[in-house]
Amino acid sequence: MARTQGSHSDITGPRVREAALALFARHGFAAVSMRQIASAVGVQAGALYNYTPDKQTLLYDLMRTHMEDLLAAWDSQTPTGGALGALETFTRFHIRFNTRRADAVFVSYMELRNLSPENFEVIEGLRRDYETRLETILRQGAREGVFAVSEPRIASMAVIAMLTGVNTWFREQGRLSLAEVEAIYWEMVRKSVAA
């Protein structure tokens, strides 16, 4: 069992996923060839098949990892201040997490149609899980009387769509800092569901 430690696969594996994510985000899954990914990593196309059974699974793994990271990151948050505090925590968390992983967010949203039906179901389930986290906050706030939302499920999708929209224009070096963007969106979110 030679080369179990420090073997190239420890390096090449992550690099394949990084290169694939960047290329899929820029050009789209269907427009990127295995040879392009291999070239970005610095290997021949055949070598990629040590790291993924096929192109479709490579995409699926990237999307699943992203969604699981998102859920795990949110679940490690510890909001305080009741439903209102939880909503603020969620708003700021979502903007911060998603702007830092723009490629993964983009791919996970745009390439759903390139997944097999079974893989699609898994990713869609994870997305629903995330939406439910926000829905739960809105539902609780509505019960407590601090929010006025007649349709918590739809409100949660509306808020998430608004927040994810930041990714289409936000640039690290832009006029507004991330903190300022968070503040602007938090004000809009807060008011949009206010009682």
Instruction: Please check whether residue 182 is in contact with residue 120, taking contact to mean a CB–CB distance below 8 angstroms.
Output: no
Closest separation in Å from C-beta 107 to DNA: 15
The reply to whether 171 sits near a copy of itself by the rule CB under 8 A is no
Closest separation in Å from C-beta 162 to a copy of itself: 4
Please compute, for residue 83, the number of CA atoms within 13 A of its CA located in the half-sphere on the CB side. Answer: 22
The reply to whether 187 sits near a copy of itself by the rule CB under 8 A is yes
Q: Which of 7, 11, 30, 143 binds a copy of itself (CB under 8 A)?
A: 30
Closest separation in Å from C-beta 78 to a copy of itself: 27
The reply to whether 124 sits near a copy of itself by the rule CB under 8 A is no
The reply to whether 31 sits near a copy of itself by the rule CB under 8 A is yes
The reply to whether 11 sits near a copy of itself by the rule CB under 8 A is no
Closest CA to 80 of 71, 89, 69, 72: 89
**C-alpha span between 159 and 136 (Å, rounded):** 13
Closest separation in Å from C-beta 7 to a copy of itself: 35
Q: Which stretch binds a copy of itself (CB under 8 A): 49-57, 96-104, 136-144, 146-154?
A: 146-154
Closest CA to 40 of 61, 79, 12: 12
Q: DSSP letters of 60-80?
A: HHHHHHHHHHHHHHHHT----
Q: State the binding partner of 19 from DNA, a copy of itself, none, CB within 5 to 8 A by kind.
A: none
**C-alpha span between 132 and 157 (Å, rounded):** 9
